[in-house]
Amino acid sequence: MALLDSIFGRKKKQFKASCNITKEPLEKGFGYLLTTAQIITSKKYWDMVMTEPETMSYTLSHFNKQNSGTQMRAMIFEKYATVSKPWIISDSVINYFDIDISEARANAKKWWETDGQFAPANVGPADKTLSEMTFIHSKEYAILEAGLKKLEINAYGQS
């Protein structure tokens, strides 16, 4: 079959990927592979997510004691915390995570070599891969606290 494919010009479709966070395209072999647990335990990540233009109104509502904002933040947390596949991420956001960068890079290379089929240890939804206490602390930070420091800085006109 491979001979016929080469004769008739059929090529295997090249595997492509983009950063699961920024959506920027990644060149084959680049990026970092993280688990959902590694993603959701990052306070820096949650501060970024909860102060993006798409989520800022929920953050403002939450800190103004409006239940609807808190509910939306909880839904955002659940969306991210339940991801079962590994996350391929770019250089532009790797510094949000306190991880072993060389291991994440090596896992990304394995992931690329297997056209996205490789999964590192502890892959899966965060409530299944983290201790209950770590999961609860991450959830509470994401929903109740994320973004507050950025709002306080902006309120005082500092950056």
Q: Is residue 20 part of a domain?
A: yes
What's the total number of domains in the chain?
A: 1
What residues pair up with 87 in beta bridges, in sequence order?
A: 34
Task: Say which DSSP state 91 is in.
Answer: T
Predicted TM-score (pTM) of this structure: 0.86
DSSP three-state, residue 87: strand
Q: Is residue 5 part of a domain?
A: no
117-148 tens-digit pLDDT: 999 999 999 999 999 999 999 999 999 999 99
Domain that holds residue 87: 15-155
Gap between the Cα atoms of 42 and 80, Å rounded: 12
> H/E element holding 17?
strand 17-18
The pLDDT assigned to 80 comes to 97
DSSP three-state, residue 88: strand
Q: Is residue 119 part of a domain?
A: yes
Gap between the Cα atoms of 77 and 95, Å rounded: 20
By C-alpha distance, which of 144, 133, 141, 128 is closest to 36?
Answer: 128
DSSP three-state, residue 99: coil
Q: Is residue 3 part of a domain?
A: no
The pLDDT assigned to 159 comes to 46
Q: Is residue 107 part of a domain?
A: yes
The pLDDT assigned to 14 comes to 85
Q: Which residues contact 126 (CB under 8 A, 6 or more apart)?
A: 36, 37, 39, 40, 41, 81, 82, 135, 138
Gap between the Cα atoms of 81 and 59, Å rounded: 18
C-alpha pair distances (Å), 10 with each of 1, 7, 14, 112, 115? 10, 8, 12, 22, 18
Gap between the Cα atoms of 42 and 57, Å rounded: 22
Q: Is residue 8 part of a domain?
A: no
Going residue by residue through the chain (159 aa), what tens digit of pLDDT does each one get? 555 555 556 666 788 999 999 999 999 999 999 999 999 999 999 999 999 999 999 999 999 999 999 999 999 999 999 999 999 999 999 999 999 999 999 999 999 999 999 999 999 999 999 999 999 999 999 999 999 988 776 655 554
Q: Is residue 7 part of a domain?
A: no
Q: Is residue 58 part of a domain?
A: yes
